[in-house]
Amino acid sequence: MSHDSYPDAYIRGILNTVKTIAMVGISPKDNRPSYFAFKYLLDRGYNMIPVNPGQAGHEILGRKVYARLGDIPEPIDMVDVFRAAQYAPQIVAEALALKPRPQVIWMQLGVRNDEAAATAEAGGLKVVMNRCPKIEYGRLSSEISWMGVNSRTLTAKRANIFGRGVQRMSLARTTMTGGTTIDSAAAKSKGA
């Protein structure tokens, strides 16, 4: 598989089938991207398991933190790698040693290791690199629109981009204070 782009069906299939996700490299700091992604996926109903050797035995968002994948006492469907690319081969090796094996290795934004991907795929795992499951979930579920926000409006039409179709406020109007704008006064003098 080419890891330069992924069909939406591939990403959607993964996000629809995995239930338990081990996030390797989660930070306990609530201002870190790993924390946001973990919380978002937890709020969407995924069974999130934090993995961070420096935090082992503590809790993050009410979930017990494990030092490594092998310490987790339940089956894992997906391993979300929030570590630098050079650590990916070791994490893949740990994942492949699990019984049962996870279905997916997902490397976060900025994380790409083709060697680790090839090893995981040779072991029968699906691989996603340089993507964030939080962003992909939001995009594919329409929680986050193409503009990056949720308008809370259900529609099949795309929003107009400012400057290309968005109506601006007319300058030919009466102001809130009772005066008129320059264009309004000019329009009245022309008999409009």
pTM: 0.75
CB 46 within 8 A of CB 37: no
- Specify whether 186 is located in the same domain as 121: no
Residue 82 belongs to a domain: yes
The DSSP symbol for 87 reads: G
Give tens-digit pLDDT for 104-120: 999 999 999 999 999 99
Q: Would you list the DSSP string of 171-183?
A: SSSB-TTS-B-HH
Give tens-digit pLDDT for 122-137: 999 999 999 999 999 9
Q: How many domains does the chain have?
A: 2
pLDDT surpassing 60 at residue 183: no
Residue 169 belongs to a domain: yes
CB 77 within 8 A of CB 101: no
Range of 97's domain? 8-140
What is the rounded distance in angstroms from the CA atom of residue 26 to the CA atom of residue 37?
9
